[in-house]
Structure 1
Amino acid sequence: MATSSPRPSRKAPPLTVDALWQLERVGAPSLAPDGRQLVCTLTRHSMADNQARSQLWLLPTQGRARARALTACGDKDGQPAWSPKGDRIAFLARREQEGERDATPQLYLIAPDGGEAQRASRFAPGIEAFKWQPDGRGIVFSAWVWPELKGAAAQSRRFKAHAERKETGYATSEAYYRHWDHNLPEGRVLHLLRLDLPSGRITDLFEGTELELPRDGEAGATAWDIHPSGQRIAFQHDPAARKRPSNRLAVAELDMRTRRVRALADDPQWDFGAPSYHPDGHSLALCAAETGRSHKALNELALVEGLDGRRPSWRVLTARDWDHDVEAPLRWADAGQALLFCAEQRGRRLLWRHTRATTQTAALHTEGWVQAFACTGDTLVLAADSAQHPTRLLARSLAAAGADTPRRLERWNDALLARHRLGAVQEQMVAGARGEPVQCWITYPVDFDPKRRHPVLHVIHGGPYAAAGASFNYRWNPHVLAGRGHVVVQVNYHGSSGFGFTFRDSIMGRQGELELQDLEAVTDWLQRQPWVDGERISASGGSYGGFLVAWMNGHVKTPGRYRSYVCHAGVFDRVATFAADSYMERPRDLHARYWEDPARVAAQSPHSAAQHFQTPTLVIHGARDYRVPDCNGLAYYNTLQARGIEARLLWFPDENHWVLKPRNSKLWYQEFLDWVVRHDQPAAPKKKR
């Protein structure tokens, strides 16, 4: 299938927030065992209903057959995975079937040639993530359970009682008790269980032990892997007796028959994850980060060998000068002779292949941002977006990767995009802090004229260990933000990911310092461009980017240099932010605890420079934000009000660190752009007395 798309007319409008939410969002692909078909989720949002609906779609990877919807009855069908024989597809859903409505996600099975999906599980606490066993007779899944109980029936009874309770208080003595936007299930931990498909029987594989999967649950099914024999499971866990956020993780192996557990990779100086068995079962690939050197050490590719012996050992595979962060999942390819994985590089997320025979690591796919991938035999399928389009599905040959042209497998968003214009996107390097080059991405408005002067909007990414890049962002889409005529600039300041460990580590213990120098250096560069209106420059940011915007308000030397700020979910007070779910990690970033070195913490906190605030600011926050609790946004807004500085607050009682509901997102964009445009104009000169 050709990769070209219909081009919009020169009179087409820029991308709008309504059009953004009409785009169909493509999920991670799962390949059939023969590589001839894939299944993925396709999510559609309704602005009218303020809801999302996800279906499974089946696509051929070869030939001219068309994509077709596989499911239609569910609202949020997700995580599809082919059975080992290719005769069934398992997925998670909450449905009503035969008069029974799911209260929690359950496992369903459907034949790839269609028909009615059948519920395969009835486990009241619900299923978080799953994998097929190699023989296709069982499913291993993760679920939140009460560890002291025995048997699925007891779990179901306790779940029913818990769901029907009248009390709303949350009592805990745990150090790790909430994550992102939810309290961790009170009294429950994340276990691995097995579902026997023929009988429907469920067995808790961790029952009677102290074992549990990482409590954040973010690794999903990459937190464990099943041995090719189907009898052993390698899994990621916190070996410490007291579970805390940011504890190092180890990898162990469970014998499903004897329930014996042995350590595969457990070292106080290292953090391990993403286990992936070699096809012959004799070794296991891992991600390994030397956290004893730095808590922000990059993940390296590692291998555990000697699995059939008594004393397995592990070693790092990637070269010591390979300065990238290996990301899960890890996939074996080329009959076990190579490993595939993603890693960022200079504002892009590439797919890499590490070849064992040569010990060389090379990029396979170098365009845009690879969101997900799957491979089997010689077939490689990627879900990738770019700065100019949302996620697309591409197929290519593993053997010819690098020499072949990716084949696009779908056309879902082409018609809608053809009705809107997108501005050009440019990558630019500017000398920043310490004279080191920093990357910035410039998105131009659709009617950009280099002979005219345009307003500029900084959009500062969060993290800080993240990056702005060649990716299509739905929450801070630069094309929508450029829709009112702004040139949108995204700076990958010191601390950003994808530029090596030293660049990432440089901001530790002095947060705000180098980053501000980078942002100011880019603003200086912008001021020298003939197409920039130097009196109409604004800055916005979210999360750590919000911290930087609040930091700028108290530390930018030139009054009025920025016409306005937008601070979304930004850190304002470092001490108050100890209420965050990441409270154990933040002192490592600051190189200080507030009760031991209050001056050093205060020196990295925007609130300490409140006396210098003077720039009008729109403050945005969500009440369900546990990463940066909303006391930050409210305190910042109140401080601006108390000091008589123009400010506006947009507060969402039902949103977390992000704004995820269509109607709320539309309001977010409207308030954001209205604020910036209103402050674009220079202040009126004061009248002489």
Structure 2
Amino acid sequence: MAQKPNKSAPKAAPADTLDVDLLWQMQRVGAANLSPDGAQAVCSVSTPSMADNKSRSALWLLSTLGGEPRQLTRCGDKDSQPQFSPRGDLVAFLAKREDGGVKDETTQLYLIAPDGGEARRAGVVATGVEAFKWFPDGRRVALLSWVWPHLKGTEAQAKAHTEHKARKETGVATSEANYRYWDHFMPVGRVVHLHVLDVHTGELTNLFEGSPLQLSRTEPDNTCFDISPDGKRIAFSHDVNPDQPIDGRNRISVIDVKTRRTSLLAKADDWHLTAPVWRGDGKRLAWLAAEVGRKHTLPNHLAVGDATGSTWSVVSSEWDHEVQAPLQWEEDGEAVLFAAEQQGRRHLWRFDLPDLRAEVVVEGGWLHAFHKVAGTLVTLADSASHPPQLRAHEPDGTAARIEHFNEELLARLNLGDTEEVWFTGALGDEVQMWLHYPPGFDRSRKYPVLHTIHGGPHTAPGDVWHWRWNNKVFAAQGYVVASVNYHGSSSFGHAFLDSITHRWGELELEDVEAATDWLLKKRWVDKRRIFATGGSYGGYMVAWMNGHVPAGRYAAYICHAGCYDWQAMFADDAWSWHAKELGAWYWEDPARIAAQSPHTYAGNFNTPTLVIHGALDYRVPDAQGLAYYNTLKARGIDSRLLWFPDENHWVLKPRNSAQWYGEFFAWLRRHDVATSKGKAGK
């Protein structure tokens, strides 16, 4: 059960430092959805349990006017994606529960009144619910579900699902080009269809039944579609290519809910169009548009078109930022709200259409979600100094926290300071680095340095909390933690992001090495105690460094889920991007691929390395980590392996996370001249 929020913080000065146990005592607040009058917000709050080795999620009601938060659901295990109905009389959410003596086998849609009571199942969707949105009438929802496309009717789908669950075979047989994603195999022979569910009668209608239409198989969510203000039409983003490539090019279409007739709204051969959203009058739509046919790294821009499909245009092409879903129209219909990154932060922006101008509405930190209704805006954002928090923003610019989860715990902690610095890196460009100092940092003392090299590569660490790689937990161990936004990182413009294409490793290494040089000039840095760690592409980077950096510069490396051999990496779920990023298919130009692959330089490996990987990682298959570890062993280099049979690209279970941090810190201590006893490796 979620703890009751405590508004009164202790008056004593912070004394404790953050560790993994305290990190897993914190509640994790999700995105909020506002009531029609903007007076209330509902969100999911996850409460981890190290003892149970899992987390439970419940819904909470929060007042934007200053009232006390109230827990709305208690009986579920993973209550998520809450949304107020258009009349505000119900909250719909997704869960797997027991209702009427029947336990859910798949995720279902539930309804509960905001003033409390028992939640009820809205209807039975045998194939489960992925995402949903309310119709304006408050009686129906549109939802996504994986179905067998050749079957007609809910009974046939239910029968097929029962038979599939009962089968004894475990093999996966497929002819699809994309058959697994992230940590799961895509349901064989099934596709994602758009449905309408009457929440009063439970009647379910498959709008795509009997047609070749389908939605994204990789991450189907409620940004894939949007319902018109009159409830008669649904705009959706889809790829007509039956192979559904992971790097396909979507178009925007509209389906008439009553007749099921579909019409094309927008398409262009070189453009990938996603995340459509209707304006309040139903006359125009906005969506995201990326000209990936010209270059795969080009960002999403804001596009606007009329509801007839006669005209549309990209309106933010002169603004060198990537627009990120979801989009939301302002009530006046003259601007669109969205999140976008800028120099290691993520803000909420308003893009005014008459003058094509973007302005920051709410500054990050790192903005994770927002929703605006009736003039009230609610945001979910974190920073390096606090986990995600919800705030209500009024039209006059004032803002206030509307929840106080974790406040008592955070008040006890001395998290240390965070600083943004810039230095000259590759190509003579200015490069950003975030430094997280240990609590009680004293510039007259010597400190070890811990690089945390980010993945992606086209992402950006910044003023952000991060539950899995928490820089404050690292700093609390006594390290100055350095996070470099190397060339290739997002949030610094397209040229900076695209600069590493077809030459991975080169500029990124120059930047990390320049950062280390910058740090070594500081009197408070102990040059004998420099460490480099990274995950995913950051793991690639430390493996790359092991083959390119002279022995002794770094005391040890940690490689989490790192890319090691680009030819063998062709087993991943994103193989269709390889040639675009590396410059060729491995069979076309083996030398070019090998030149960008850490395994090519195994003869130069010399630095002790901890290798971490999960068996369910399909983005970077675990054979990458095992091959790297085996190579280190064959070369007689001090190394250690941490392998999880039940984790994916991320380590998500509480006990496994504790083990991850424990091994992480033990490896650093083992190779730290100030803490190790005897020779490293003994």
TM-score range, shorter chain: over 0.9
**Per-residue deviation at 1:5?**
8.4
Is structure 2 residue 194 aligned with structure 1 residue 192?
yes
Identify which range, 675-684 or 118-127, moves more after superposition. Answer: 675-684
- Work out whether 1:82 is the aligned partner of 2:94: no
Q: What is the distance in 1 between the residues matched to 2:250 and 2:639?
A: 44
Partner of 2:456: 463
Long gaps (5+) in structure 1: none
- Selected match of 1:183 from 182, 185, 197: 185
Change (3 A) 1:522 1:6: farther
1:148 alignment partner AA: H
CA contact (8 A) 1:335 1:377 kept: no
| Residues 18 and 536 of structure 1, relative CA distance in 2, 3 Å threshold | same
Please name the residue that 1:337 is paired with.
Answer: 334
Structure 2 residue identity aligned to 1:453:
K
2:234, 2:67 → 1: CA distance?
38
1:94-151 per-residue CA deviation (whole Å, 9 max, x = no partner) reads 1112211011111111111111111112111110000001111111000110000001
Cα distance in 2 for partners of 1:98, 1:260 equals 37
The residue aligned with 1:597 is 589
Tell me the TM-score normalized by structure 2: 0.97
Change (3 A) 1:9 1:592: farther
Judge conservation of contact 1:286–1:301 (CA < 8 Å) in 2. Answer: yes
State how far apart, in whole Å, the 1-side matches of 2:678 and 2:33 are: 62
2:117 is paired with a residue whose SS is strand
Report the Cα distance in structure 1 between the residues aligned to 2:668 and 2:123, rounded to whole angstroms.
51
Structure 2 residue runs of 5 or longer lacking an equivalent are 1-5
- Corresponding residue for 1:347? 344
Question: In structure 2, what residue type is equivalent to 1:34?
Answer: D
Aligned mates of 2:7, 2:147 — CA distance in 1: 49
> 1:635: which partner in 2?
627
Q: CA–CA distance in 1 between the matches of 2:11 and 2:495? A: 43
Structure 1 residue aligned with 2:291: 290
Measure the CA separation in 2 of the matches of 1:354 and 1:7. Answer: 42
Match of 2:25 among 11, 16, 22: 22
1:144-155, aligned counterparts within 5 Å?
144-155=146-157
Q: Percent identity?
A: 54
With normalisation by structure 1, the TM-score equals 0.96
1:61 to 47, 61, 64: 64
Q: Could you tell me how far apart the structure 1 residues matched to 2:352 and 2:7 are?
A: 33
Measured in 2, the distance between the counterparts of 1:606 and 1:12 equals: 43
Indicate if the aligned counterparts of 2:487 and 2:511 stay in contact, CA closer than 8 A: yes
For residue 386 of structure 1, the aligned residue among 383, 399, 423 is: 383
Q: CA deviation at 1:527?
A: 0.4
Do 1:553 and 1:612's aligned partners in 2 also have CA atoms closer than 8 Å?
A: yes
Q: Alpha-carbon deviation of 1:628?
A: 0.2
Structure 1 counterpart of 2:524, from 507, 531, 535: 531
Match of 2:544 in 1: 551
Query: Which residue does 2:483 correspond to in 1?
Result: 490
1:241: Cα distance to partner? 3.0
1:417 maps to which of 400, 406, 410: 410
Q: Secondary structure at the match of 1:331?
A: strand
State the 1:11 CA deviation: 6.7
Structure 2 CA distance for aligned equivalents of residues 544 and 173 of structure 1: 29
Matched, 1:40 2:43: yes
User: Which residue of the other structure, out of 363, 387, 409, is the alignment partner of 1:366?
Assistant: 363
Equivalent position of 1:564 in the other structure? 556
Partner of 2:247: 246
The amino acid of 1:515's aligned partner reads: E
Do the aligned partners of residues 298 and 73 (structure 1) sit closer, same or farther apart at CA in structure 2, a change above 3 Å counting? same
**Corresponding residue for 2:637?**
645
Kindly state the Cα deviation for residue 238 of structure 1 after the two structures are TM-superposed. Answer: 1.1
Residue in 2 aligned with 1:431? 424
1:303-322 pair list within 5 angstroms: 303-305=304-306, 307-308=307-308, 311-318=309-316, 320-322=317-319
- Give the Cα–Cα distance (whole angstroms) in 1 for the partners of residues 318 and 213 of structure 2: 36
- Cα offset, 1:474, TM superposition: 0.4
Do 1:8 and 1:417's aligned partners in 2 also have CA atoms closer than 8 Å?
A: no
CA contact (8 A) 2:280 2:331 kept: no
Deviations 1:156-192, CA, capped at 9 Å, x for gaps: 1000100111000000000111100000011111111
The one of 441, 446, 457 aligned to 1:448 = 441
Query: What letter is aligned with 2:480?
Result: V
Shift of 1:447: 2.5
Say which SS state the counterpart of residue 31 (structure 2) adopts: coil
**1:243: Cα distance to partner?**
1.8
1:611 is displaced (CA, Å) by: 0.2
Instruction: Report deviation, 1:264.
Output: 1.3
Is 1:406 the counterpart of 2:399? The answer is yes
CA deviation map 1:486-514 (0-9, x unaligned): 11000000000100100000000000000
- Which of 649, 663, 668 is the equivalent residue of 1:671? 663
- Corresponding residue of 1:476: 469
Shift of 1:481: 1.0
Aligned-residue offset at 1:239: 2.0
1-side partners of 2:354 and 2:426: how far apart?
Answer: 41
Q: State how far apart, in whole Å, the 2-side matches of 1:42 and 1:180 are.
A: 24
Change (3 A) 1:384 1:4: farther
Counterpart Cα distance in 1 of 2:32 and 2:138: 19
Q: For 2:641, give the aligned amino acid.
A: L
Counterpart-to-counterpart distance in 2, 1:364 and 1:5: 29
- Mapped pair 1:624 → 2:622: no
Distance 1:6 1:61 in 2: 20
Distance, in Å, in 2 between the alignment partners of 1:169 and 1:276 is: 40
CA deviation profile, 1:572-609 (whole Å, cap 9, x unmatched): 00011100000001221001110000000000100000
Q: Shift of the alpha carbon at 1:331?
A: 0.4
Deviating beyond 6 angstroms after TM superposition, the runs of 4 or more aligned structure 1 residues are 682-686
1:31 to 30, 34, 37: 34
2:443, 2:523 within 8 Å by CA — same for their partners in 1? yes
Distance 2:13 2:391 in 1: 28
Distance 1:540 1:667 in 2: 17
Does 1:542 pair with 2:545?
no
SS of the equivalent of 1:30 reads: strand
AA aligned opposite 2:320: D
- The partner residue of 1:170 within 169, 172, 182 is 172
Which residue does the alignment assign to 2:3? none
Task: Write the letter of the residue equivalent to 2:362.
Answer: H
Q: How far apart, in 1, do the equivalents of 2:49 and 2:243 lie?
A: 44
- Aligned residue in 2 for 1:233: 234
Q: Distance in 2 between matches of 1:468 and 1:359?
A: 29
Shifted more, 67-76 versus 404-413: the winner is 404-413
Deviation at 1:684, TM superposition (A): 9.9
Of residues 292-301 and 654-663 in structure 1, the stretch that sits farther from structure 2 once superposed is 292-301
CA distance in 2, matches of 1:5, 1:477: 26
- Supply the distance in 2 between the matched residues of 1:120 and 1:540 (Cα, whole angstroms): 47
Change (3 A) 1:581 1:8: farther
Mapped contact 1:333–1:376 kept (Cα < 8 A):
no
The separation in 1 between residues aligned to 2:678 and 2:561, in whole angstroms, is 34
C-alpha distance in structure 1 between counterparts of 2:644 and 2:469, whole Å:
17
1:209 is aligned, of 193, 208, 211, to: 211
Letter in 1 for 2:152: K
In structure 2, how many angstroms separate the alpha carbons of the residues matched to 1:435 and 1:5?
A: 50
Q: Which stretch shows the higher mean deviation, 363-372 or 567-576? A: 363-372
The answer (yes or no) to whether the contact 1:8–1:421 under 8 Å persists in 2 is no
SS in 2 for 1:27: strand
Give the letter for the 2:260 counterpart. Answer: R
CA distance in 2: counterparts of 1:486 and 1:10, whole angstroms: 22
Aligned equivalent of 2:278: 277
1:502-542 alpha-carbon deviations (Å, 9 max, x no partner)? 00000000000000000000000000001100110000000
| Count of aligned pairs | 673
Cα–Cα, structure 1 residues 681 and 390, in superposed 2: closer, same or farther, change >3 Å? same
Within 2, Cα distance between the matches of 1:272 and 1:620? 37
Query: What secondary structure, in the 3-state scheme, does the structure 2 residue paired with 1:638 have?
Result: helix
2:359 is the counterpart of 1:395: no
Secondary structure of 2:663 counterpart: helix
